Structure 1
Amino acid sequence: MSRQRGNEPPVTWLDALTWCREHGEDAVMITVLGAQGSTPREAGAKMVVTPDVCFDTIGGGNLEQQAVIKARQMLEDGQRIPLVERFNLAANLGMCCGGVAMLMLEPLMLGSRQLVIFGAGHVGQALVTILSALPYRIHWVDSREGQFPDDIPANVTTYCDDDPVGLSQRLPDKARYLIMTHNHQLDLDLCMALLKRPRPVGFVGLIGSAEKWRRFQQRMEQRGFAPQQIDSICCPVGLPDIGGKRPMEVAVSIAAQQLQLDKAEAGQSIAVTPLNWQAARSIGTLSGG
């Protein structure tokens, strides 16, 4: 059941935790808490499941298959609470080994939220100063050589690219995109490119005045974009109640909005499967033999 990504060698579940953190992947850790009778693996066996990759194994077969299906459903639903389930391998899963396994499926939120910031001007630099101190993975893009500061935080990746619009198509789908370049035409091109992406992004925010946004709306309408597409762009980006025009004030406003979005997203994940206490209490009745 364990698979590789690309040409990377197979890794253990322990290696997988580092891999998931480095690649911004949320995952579910599956652990065999207890085993009775004949089972594919002993208590303590673990594997890690992401939306499209499995690392290590709890023994394969239908037990692992059903556990992986459930783990990926947990990731899709945004569950945060561990789930303990008891599997009768013969009665429930049709496996001839006939034992009983108790599994814990533990969501691991290893994938920090990803932000893409276009523009390394005064506001961009102030914004990265704030956001890099928070649990984000930041992709920072500017076409101007030497625009980035010398000291770049560990969670920030810089891209000095002559074609930011083309680059925008290769950056993460689920990221939030913040547009604040030195060039209004580039800002517009980025807005349109992000709206055309085959898979939608998490958020698009554009820095600018009401007049700038009015002109952008007109030009996007002329290019055939539907009103609901245009309305999906947040302009001016940031929280209006904070106010202020100095770069750090604008950056604080934008950062505060990102924290507000974090809380809103977390609120969408409240409905979770509670821990199966009856199953958990029966763990003590299982033995490793």
Structure 2
Amino acid sequence: MDTFEQLLLRLRSQPLQLLQVSRLEGSGPREVGAWMAVGLDGFSLGSVGGGQLEFEAMAWARARLGGGERDTVSRRFALGPSLGQCCGGAVTLNMRYLPGPADPTMSEAECQVLRQSLTPAEAELMPVALFGNGHVGRALVEQLSRLPCRVHWLDSRSEDFPASLPAMVHAEHSEPVQRAVATLAPGSLVLIMSFSHFEDIELVAACLQRRRARDDLGFIGLIGSKSKWASFRQRLLGRGFSETELAGVCCPIGVPGISGKQPEVIALAVAAQLMQIWGDVSR
């Protein structure tokens, strides 16, 4: 369940105030568009920056909920000594009332408009193509579901995908799985972690061929050890790929310094690596 679905679920039991960063002057803790939903019972979802800013914003939201106020308002917070923060800038928050079960419910169209207002623009989302629906793949999707990205999840075993997927994940069965490489979105950060080494090497080869033809994949990462890559490397050289082309494949994957072979640990290290790469690409 993604955060927007969590928001809709909570609205079945209580009204909320929605806080969203509408303007940032100078340095601030969150970007324009960051949001937070606040309930009268202590419930909160999301974040507009933490610290004293968020503490005061939540108190403001709960006071308006308690007073039955439903109009949309804005408030500017200076991030200086008065808030006990030293960012030096200012944040303007918009506050919007979201109806609970006692109010007329939002229509489907209104829900879609709300979702769009709380979702980063498509160009700001990190495009991830994930091949493999094993333990690490599932753990990685869970990590990525909390990040601003869209995931194209592929496997040759169609029956293995979870029944329920986050909104930012599109699952696809492809047999043979490497055929799907040609259809990936340009700029995709590709992760290869299928159930077999045969599929893995075919996927790497397909990605290298696409780079040779179009040079539009942002990253090619292969799960495995240095010895696995040494074996793959020799076989790929035998297929005619150059040392320069093979240098564009990352194996092992994940940021260095995070040890552990549990799927959740690997997923954390890989998600961090993707965010580093995307940060460099999107600057």
167, 170, 173: which one pairs with 2:183? 170
Asked whether 1:209 is paired with 2:222, we answer no
**Offset at residue 110 of structure 1 (A):** 3.3
Q: Distance in 1 between matches of 2:256 and 2:143?
A: 18
User: Given the alignment, which residue of 165, 177, 182 partners 2:195?
Assistant: 182
Structure showing greater relative contact order (alpha-carbon pairs closer than 8 Å, 6 or more residues apart): 1
Q: C-alpha deviations, 1:213-239, integer Å up to 9, x for none? A: 000000011111010100100001111
Q: Which of 219, 229, 247 is the aligned partner of 2:263?
A: 247
- 2 CA distance for matches of 1:110 and 1:224? 37
Structure 1's consecutive aligned runs of 4 or more residues displaced over 4 angstroms after TM superposition are: none
**Partner Cα separation in structure 2 for residue 251 and residue 172 of structure 1:** 22
Q: Deviations over 1:152-179 (max 9, x none)?
A: 0001000012121111111112111000
CA distance in 1, matches of 2:277, 2:201: 24
Per residue, is there more helix in 1 or in 2? 2
CA distance in 1, matches of 2:260, 2:276: 19
* RMSD (Å) for aligned C-alpha atoms: 1.3
Partner of 2:132: 119
Superposition deviation, residue 120 in structure 1: 0.5
Task: Provide the secondary structure at the position in 2 that maps to 1:133.
Answer: coil
**Structure 1 segment 1-289 matched on structure 2, within 5 A:** 110-111=122-123, 112-197=125-210, 198-200=213-215, 201-266=217-282, 269=283
Contact kept, 8 Å, 2:158 with 2:172, in 1: the verdict is no
Q: Distance in 1 between matches of 2:246 and 2:259?
A: 24
Asked if the contact 1:161–1:167 (Cα under 8 Å) also holds between the matched residues in 2, the reply is yes
Q: 1:122 Cα deviation (Å)? A: 0.1
CA 1:196–1:243 in structure 2 vs 1: closer, same or farther (change >3 Å)?
Answer: same
Give the whole-Å Cα distance in 1 for the aligned partners of 2:280 and 2:190: 17
Gaps of 5+ in 1: 1-107, 270-289
Q: Deviations over 1:229-262 (max 9, x none)?
A: 0010000111121111011111111001011112
* TM-score in terms of structure 2 length: 0.55
What amino acid maps onto 2:172 in structure 1?
Answer: Y
TM-score (norm 1): 0.54
Shift of 1:265: 2.5
CA contact (8 A) 2:154 2:171 kept: yes
Q: Deviations over 1:97-140 (max 9, x none)?
A: xxxxxxxxxxx953222100000000000000000211111000
Q: Distance in 1 between matches of 2:136 and 2:259?
A: 14
- Counterpart of 2:122 in structure 1: which amino acid? L
| Alignment coverage as a number of residue pairs | 160
Q: Measure how far apart 1:207 and its partner are.
A: 0.1
Larger Rg: 1
Amino acid at match of 1:199: R
User: What amino acid sits opposite 1:110 in the alignment?
Assistant: E
1:146 aligns to what SS in structure 2?
Answer: helix
Q: Give the match's secondary structure for 2:183.
A: coil
Contact 1:173 1:199 in 2 (8 A): no
Task: Give me the whole-angstrom Cα distance separating, in 1, the residues matched to 2:126 and 2:207.
Answer: 18
Counterpart-to-counterpart distance in 1, 2:181 and 2:279: 26
* One-letter identity of the residue aligned with 1:146: E
Query: How many angstroms apart in 2 are the aligned matches of 1:239 and 1:195?
Result: 22
Supply the distance in 1 between the matched residues of 2:275 and 2:186 (Cα, whole angstroms): 19
